[in-house]
Amino acid sequence: MAKELEKNYNPAEIEPRLYEKWVANKYFHAEVDRSKKPFTIVMPPPNITGQLHMGHALDNTMQDILIRFKRMQGYNALWQPGTDHAAIATEVKVIEALKKEGIDKEDLGREKFLERVWDWRREYGGKIVNQLKKMGSSADWDRERFTMDEGNNKAVTEVFCKLYEKGYMYRGSRIVNWCPVCQTSISDAEVVHEEQDGFFWHINYPVVGEEGRFVEIATTRPETLLGDTAVAVNPEDERYKDIVGKMLKLPLTDREIPVIADEYVDKDFGTGCVKITPAHDPNDFEVGKRHNLEEINIMNDDATINKLGGKYAGMDRYEARKAMVADLDALGLLVKVVPHKHMVGTHDRCKTTVEPLVKPQWFVKMSEMAKPAKEAVVSGKLKLIPERMDKTYYNWLDNIRDWCVSRQLWWGHRIPAYYCQDCGETIVSKETVCTCPKCGSNNVKQDEDTLDTWFSSALWPFSTLGWPDKTEDLDYFFPTDVLVTGYDIIFFWVIRMVFSSIEQTGKLPFHTVLFHGLVRDDQGRKMSKSLGNGIDPLEVIDKYGADALRFTLITGNAPGNDMRFYWERVEASRNFANKIWNASRFIMMNIEKADITGIDAAMTADVDAAMKQYGFTLADKWILSKMNDLVQEVTDNMEKFELGIAVSKLYDFLWEEFCDWYIEMVKPRLWDDADETKAAALWTLKTVLTTGLKLLHPYMPFVTEEIFCTLTDEESIMISKWPEYDKAFDFKADEAAVDKIKEAVRGIRNVRTEMNVAPSRKASVYVVSPKEDIRAIFTASKNFFAMLGYANEVHVQADKSGIADDAVSVVIHDAAIYIPFAELVDIEKEIERLTKEQTKLEAEIKRASGMLANPKFVDKAPAAKVEEERAKLQKYTETLEQVKERLANIAK
Cα(816)–Cα(879) distance, rounded to whole angstroms?
9
Residue 505 to residues 136, 371, 402, 474, 496: CA-CA distances in angstroms?
A: 33, 16, 21, 10, 14
**Residues facing 404 on adjacent strands:** 363
800 is in an annotated binding site: no
Cα(415)–Cα(428) distance, rounded to whole angstroms?
9
Cβ 56 vs Cβ 134: under 8 Å: no
Phi, psi for 248 (deg, rounded to 5): -120, 145
Residue 156 to residues 25, 152, 366, 472: CA-CA distances in angstroms?
A: 34, 6, 17, 20
Nearest CA to 662 out of 612, 694, 624, 633 is that of: 624
Question: Cα-Cα-Cα-Cα dihedral of 48, 51, 55, 57, to 10°?
Answer: 100
- Sheet containing 256-261, strands listed edge to edge, beginning at the edge strand earlier in sequence: 247-249, 256-261, 230-233, 273-276
Tell me the HSE value of 385 on the side-chain side, using a 13 A CA sphere: 17
Cα(456)–Cα(148) distance, rounded to whole angstroms?
8
SS3 category, 711: helix
The radius of gyration computed from the CA coordinates of the chain, to the nearest angstrom, equals: 37
Cβ 481 vs Cβ 77: under 8 Å: no
H-only helix segments in 493-617: 495-505, 537-544, 546-554, 567-590, 599-605, 607-614
**Residues facing 815 on adjacent strands:** 812
Name the helix (H) or strand (E) containing 276: strand 273-276
Length of the chain, in residues = 892
Cα(819)–Cα(798) distance, rounded to whole angstroms?
16
Q: b or e along 182-191 (b: 16 or more beta carbons within 10 Å of the residue's beta carbon)?
A: bebbbbbbbb
Question: Cα-Cα-Cα-Cα dihedral of 42, 48, 52, 55, to 10°?
Answer: -50
Give helix then strand counts, H and E, for the chain: 31, 29
Q: Which residues contact 618 (CB under 8 A, 6 or more apart)?
A: 734, 737, 738, 777, 780, 781
Cα(141)–Cα(642) distance, rounded to whole angstroms?
27
- Intra-chain end-to-end CA distance of the chain, in Å: 62
Q: Categorise residue 245: left if φ over 0, alpha if ψ from -120 to 50, beta otherwise.
A: left
Cα(847)–Cα(872) distance, rounded to whole angstroms?
10
Q: Which residues contact 649 (CB under 8 A, 6 or more apart)?
A: 630, 633, 634, 637
C-alpha of 343 from chain center: 28
Kindly tell me the burial class for residue 867, based on how many C-beta atoms sit within 10 Å of its own C-beta (0-12, 13-18, 19 or more).
exposed
Q: Which residues contact 2 (CB under 8 A, 6 or more apart)?
A: 588, 589, 591, 592
Cα(417)–Cα(170) distance, rounded to whole angstroms?
11
Cβ 177 vs Cβ 358: under 8 Å: no
Annotated binding site for ATP: 529
